[in-house]
A and B are shown apart, each in its own frame.
Chain A
Amino acid sequence: MLVGAIASGALAGASFLVVRHTRLQDSLERDLQRSETSFLIATLSLERAHNRDAVNGLLATYRRAPGFDVLLTFDRGARATKRRFADSSIIPQPLARAVGTTDFEYERTELENKPYVVVGRAVEGTTIKVFFLFPEGPIQRQISQLGTVLFTGWLILAAASGLIGVLLSRQMLTPVSRASVAARSLAEGLLDTRLPVETKDEFGTLAQSFNEMAQALQEKIAELSDARERERRFTANVAHELRTPVAALVSEASLVRDQLDEIPAEFRRPVQLLVGDVTRLRQLLEDLMEISLFDAGRQTVEVDEVDGPTLIRSLLRRRGWVQSVRLDVQPVILRTDRRRLERVISNLVSNAIKYGQVDIVVRVRKTNDKALIEVSDRGPGILPEHLPNVFDRFFKADPSRTGSGTGLGLSIVHENVRVLDGAITVQSEVGHGSTFTVALPLHTPAVYLAAPDAGQRPGLHHRDAV
């Protein structure tokens, strides 16, 4: 069908071009012939005398000839069969220069916005040049009419053949194509997609089983997402309820910690432990809060220009890690969320310090459209069977190590990398250490979310200054 449309289109186009060319050529030859005879009159009448009377006579003769106008140019000034053409500047410059006594020169041009063929030649023995002005408007009009007719015909033909093709194929493909469309929309997440069961043949059976499968899938997914949603809400609620008492604990512990000397010696150690555990509890809660924000889909991405190496250096300095980490960084500028990038690097480095301990290196490389950030250590490494789980929540490769980690650090890294449109991979060899590689796009799009409870808070929409 498409082939037919293209072929007929090409045929129509080609024939149009051929006709156009021959018609224009014909008309030009006719113009040149008429110029030749008319020019003869000019040479004859001007040979005798080229004064005012001779010129007037000549123009009078020309005025009687139909279908064209004549312009005579002299050293100074010009005369024409029509007053409005009596101006030598209407002749295109290249033509005016090219005109000589031996042969005719011509050029297609526009006079008063209409297409003309101008043919010119100089009269021997004088400075007079004769220009014949043949209007080409009628012939051009004919040609464009022809083009319209051909194009319209082609359109009708193409549309008709297309319609026939569609009608034919639809009749043949209906059940199969419907099933494929349905499968695709199911795959795209429209879980309530069903097929109509119309016939008793194999198509009917297909539709029946398709619907059963879709039903089962829908129920299973609903079940799973309900459970996930319950778990998510529980995490968020726990974190939320813990917030206030933990905030109080942190403030209280900070006061006690600064007055350790005043506490009787035998209680000093328990108080120290208490203060340390409050810090751990605080860290765990902050991690939980962050994870529950990811679960709720409430992450904004605030994009800013970030100088990679500078960010890493300042982070290491602030966390007191300068001594324990070696840097190998290439300059790279990213447009990304500064806070999230810091979180990613800080969690990876703190993880490396906790578990890898030795030879920690942070590497930064730049490719065409990505920044690669690598954190490696030469610690004990991760067992191959544990590798797929390292980004899971509360996963600890060695359950006996109840140390300082919350078990959420790497899942937070994973979530942050995800919202930054990046990817994270881990390579590890037992006894040789681990390498985490984060690939981030140089440009991460910003994501702004309205506060979900914005409507209830009087202040949130208030945008005026005080």
Chain B
Amino acid sequence: MTPEQATSPYPSIDHGVASLVPSMDETVLLIEDDPSIREVIQIGLERAGFDVTAEADGRQGLIRFRNGSFDTVVLDLMLPSLDGLEICREIRRDSGVVIVILTAKAETEDIVAGLEVGADDYVTKPFEIPELTARLRAVLRRTSITPSGGEVVVISGLEIDPSAYRVTRNGDELALTPIEFRLLYDLVRHQGQVLTRDVLLDRVWGYDHLGESRVVDMAIKRLRGKIESDPAQPHLIHTVRGVGYRFEAR
């Protein structure tokens, strides 16, 4: 076992419980209005082994999501009838499903806005299909495995139960997405230590984003909004300027 695996509470795909989970196609809901892009993504993801449901219209896409069961939503932000951000927000009302947004590279405000309303990751257009599948695989690998063996951690009114992906604060359950949960659990397990954005990207998102630290920053922001009593003045997750983040109950 590598040191990384030794410290991880989650069994990796090659070891432990994960191999007992029956292998089946992961389901993707794709909402994209441009027909060429929609079709090529569908072909690409299906070739890569995903079970893809494609939808061109935002409102229809949301209805599909509510009537189906999906592991991932791949969402274009610029959509007719219902804005991608709005869909994202609607989905997040009651679901922690992995959401990856598609945006144009220039629209940095859109990226930030999308991550803010709960998207887990983003891919900028234009992109190559293998890039998208690699991202989806990495995020799914880290979040879809039923974790086991991790011990319940109680700290500062928070009770973190890795085997159930559950966090409660003073008895109330907090709605954390799997990504947010992993992020919190990783920080708590290394409390007192500074974890750099690169390390967090690697451990939580599962691939090398190279300079895309925004994903981490926005996930931290969402997490603070859920676990901190005053997210503007965090008492649990501290920013270490120019380095990364540190969990410390003060």
Contact partner of A460 among B43, B89, B106, B113, CB < 8 A? B113
Which residues in window 172-204 of B have CB below 8 A to A? 175
Q: In the complex, A315 Cα to B105 Cα: how many Å?
A: 19
Chain B contacts of A286 at CB under 8 A? 105
State whether A466 touches B44 (Cβ < 8 A).
Answer: no
State whether B129 touches A251 (Cβ < 8 A).
Answer: yes
B242 contacts A by Cβ under 8 Å:
yes
A243 contacts B by Cβ under 8 Å:
yes
A250 contacts B by Cβ under 8 Å:
yes
Q: Given A255-B43, A457-B85, A466–B222 Cβ distance below 8 Å?
A: yes
State whether B117 touches A251 (Cβ < 8 A).
Answer: no
State whether A465 touches B225 (Cβ < 8 A).
Answer: yes
A289 contacts B by Cβ under 8 Å:
yes
State whether B126 touches A289 (Cβ < 8 A).
Answer: no
State whether B114 touches A248 (Cβ < 8 A).
Answer: no
What are the interface flags for A206-248 relative to B under an 8 Å C-beta threshold, 1 for contact and 0 otherwise?
0000000000000000000000000000000000000111111
A48 contacts B by Cβ under 8 Å:
no
Q: In the complex, A223 Cα to B70 Cα: how many Å?
A: 57
Q: Given A466-B92, A466-B117, A251–B109 Cβ distance below 8 Å?
A: no
State whether A459 touches B117 (Cβ < 8 A).
Answer: yes
Q: Given A300-B108, A338-B211, A460-B109, A465–B222 Cβ distance below 8 Å?
A: yes
- Give A290's nearest chain B residue, CB to CB: B106
- Give A257's nearest chain B residue, CB to CB: B128
Total A-B Cβ pairs within 8 A:
101
Chain B nearest CB: distance from A462 CB in Å? 6
Q: In the complex, A466 Cα to B177 Cα: how many Å?
A: 10
Chain B contacts of A465 at CB under 8 A? 116, 118, 221-222, 224-226, 231
Q: In the complex, A304 Cα to B239 Cα: how many Å?
A: 14
Which residues in window 334-354 of A have CB below 8 A to B? 338-339, 342
Q: In the complex, A339 Cα to B125 Cα: how many Å?
A: 18
Q: In the complex, A461 Cα to B65 Cα: how many Å?
A: 25
A266 contacts B by Cβ under 8 Å:
no
Chain B nearest CB: distance from A460 CB in Å? 5
Q: In the complex, A17 Cα to B45 Cα: how many Å?
A: 93
State whether A462 touches B113 (Cβ < 8 A).
Answer: yes
Which residues in window 251-292 of A have CB below 8 A to B? 251-255, 258, 282, 286, 289-290
- Give A248's nearest chain B residue, CB to CB: B36
Chain B contacts of A457 at CB under 8 A? 83, 85, 113
Chain B nearest CB: distance from A439 CB in Å? 23
State whether B126 touches A282 (Cβ < 8 A).
Answer: yes
Chain A residues with CB under 8 Å of chain B are 243-255, 258, 282, 286, 289-290, 293, 300, 304-305, 318, 338-339, 342, 451, 454, 457-460, 462-466
Closest 8 pairs between A and B when the two form their complex, measured CB to CB: A465-B225, A459-B85, A254-B128, A250-B126, A248-B36, A247-B126, A247-B125, A451-B109
- Beyond A286-B105, A339-B211, 12 additional pairs, beta carbon < 8 A: A243-B125, A244-B34, A247-B127, A252-B40, A255-B44, A293-B106, A318-B210, A459-B113, A462-B85, A463-B116, A465-B222, A465-B226
Chain B residues with CB under 8 Å of chain A are 34, 36-37, 40-41, 43-44, 47, 83, 85-86, 88-89, 92-93, 104-106, 108-109, 113-114, 116-118, 125-131, 175, 210-211, 221-222, 224-226, 231, 241-242
